[in-house]
Amino acid sequence: MTVTHVYAGPSLGAASVRALLPDAVVHPPVRHGDLMASPAGPGDRVVILDGQFFQSASVRHKEICEVIGRGVAVYGAASMGALRAAELGPYGMTGSGIVHRLYATGLIERDDEVALVHTEPDAGSRALTVALVSVRVALRRLMRRRVITVQDEGQLLAAAEHLPFTARTWRGILQQAGDVSRATKETVRQAVTGPAETWDVKTQDARALLTRLARQSAPPARRPVSVPTTVHVENWRRSADTEAVTLLSAAQIYADDYPALHRRTVLRLLTGSHEEDVRLLAGRAVDIARRRGLLPADYGLWLDDDETTAPDDAGLARVLIRSYRWSSGLTPLPVLADAVRATPGADGLREVIAEAEKLNSQLAQRGYPLDRVSRSALHRHLLRRWDTASLVPALYDRGFTGVDDLTTRAARFAPHLGLTDPPRLRLLAD
């Protein structure tokens, strides 16, 4: 059975998507990483209408190609979907609608043609500003119907282009167009006051595409797209393993002895050895790094104030572990997650994850914005949990790559850390 995943927001609300395509799986505007983690497989369809790009990284072109390569039919229209389809038409993405045609023919080129400000997905992704392409098409239609003149169209469009997308509203556009008569402004205002489907080309394109797909029982067969695998693509694949990311993040946050597991795992990666004795591994790692000239030049970046700035071999091993990031550019996430899975304490960790997710669900039902967790409060919880006064060395010892990495991955556990008294956990046998 074909499953259709629709990424939509300000162009077309979830209720409207389901009204047109009742069996659709509706998602918020697509972001970087969403498609890699999507369960869509051969014979399924992915429809991209809206996507984020300002508040989070936008969906990458190779992410879309990766999904097409799985045998998924990917369609784009209205907003981000129209833009990406115009760029990826030769690679198998199918574009639809006026906005797509404007991009594909080069009549418009700028990303901000489809950009606008909208509410959070929890609040319906309601548009708060208007996209430039929507203004452009609406004015052209009014001019062709001789409701406004060519001169009025030019002046109103210039006013819209002058405003940044974060401030582009019809009210602002009409105020900026000082040479346009009051009567003409009122006519335009009335024309764009009704429901979006009566004047907004993005909404119209979205509805037209979903209406067409509702009549198609299955997507047409397509030749698989071969996407060269780069380091970035492989890292996106690895990061899309949400179970591994969640398990590892929980271990780094909750397990008192995770630093010991991390130390042993990283030293094994550095030396290529399966030795159990951590001291022997540390000595070998330092010897290898010294011979290859891989010791960091500035030890101070990786050592706390009360740690020696001219470290012995044990200190140098600490520096190597804290500075360890990637091997050949690839994240070690799978290896670290596998190390956690193999420990006796992994089941207890899964119980904590389930408790945290249950609490998050309860808070979400009460309107608690989990995406607005206080960084400072989260850091205080972690300092208390880890029994330390210095956040940065501690997060390095736990395998986080920096404060931003810590904050991003720990945010989902913030309510559990702050509102409960999580038990002390150990992964390794005593």
Residue-wise pLDDT tens digits, 370-400: 667 788 999 999 999 999 988 989 999 999 9
Could you tell me what percent of the chain has a pLDDT over 90?
63
**pLDDT at position 157:** 94
* Region 354-363 average pLDDT: 91
pLDDT category at 220 given cuts 50, 70, 90 is low
Residue 340: per-residue pLDDT: 95
Read off the pLDDT of residues 227-273 as tens digits, 9 standing for 90 and up. 778 888 888 888 888 899 999 999 999 999 999 999 999 999 999 99
Report how far residue 40's alpha carbon sits from residue 147's, in angstroms, rounded to the nearest whole number. Answer: 46
CA-angle at 70, arms to 83 and 327, nearest 5°: 90
CB 252 within 8 A of CB 398: yes
Q: What integer pLDDT is reported at residue 309 of this predicted model?
A: 63
Residue ranges of alpha helices (H) inside 324-390 are 333-341, 346-365, 375-386
| Residue 38 · residue 231 · CB < 8 Å | no
Q: Any idea of the CA torsion for 318, 319, 321, 322, to the nearest 10 degrees?
A: 110
Q: How would residue 194 be classed by pLDDT, with cut points 50, 70 and 90? A: confident
Mean pLDDT of the chain: 90
What would the mean pLDDT of 56-80 be, rounded to a whole number? 93
* pLDDT tens track for 285-326: 999 999 988 887 777 778 887 776 667 888 889 888 988 875
Residue 4 has pLDDT above 60, yes or no: yes
Q: How confident is the model at residue 219, as a pLDDT? A: 67
Report the alpha-carbon distance of residue 67 to residue 71 in Å, rounded.
Answer: 7
According to the model, what pLDDT value does residue 121 have? Answer: 82
Q: What is the mean pLDDT of residues 86-94?
A: 93
For the domain covering 4-120+203-232, report its CATH number: 3.40.50
Q: In what order do the strands lie in the sheet with 73-76?
A: 25-27, 4-7, 45-48, 73-76, 94-95
Domain ranges of the chain: 4-120+203-232, 131-199, 241-419
- Selection from 267, 249, 286 nearest residue 399 by Cα: 249
Position 374 scores a pLDDT of: 85
pLDDT exceeds 70 at position 63: yes
Indicate the residue type of 408.
Answer: T
Q: For residues 217 and 225, give the distance between their C-alpha atoms in angstroms, rounded to a whole number.
A: 23
Crossing angle for the helix pair 132-144 and 150-162, to the nearest 10 degrees:
170
Residue 222: per-residue pLDDT: 65
Check if the beta carbon of residue 102 is closer than 8 Å to that of residue 133.
yes
pLDDT score for 328: 61
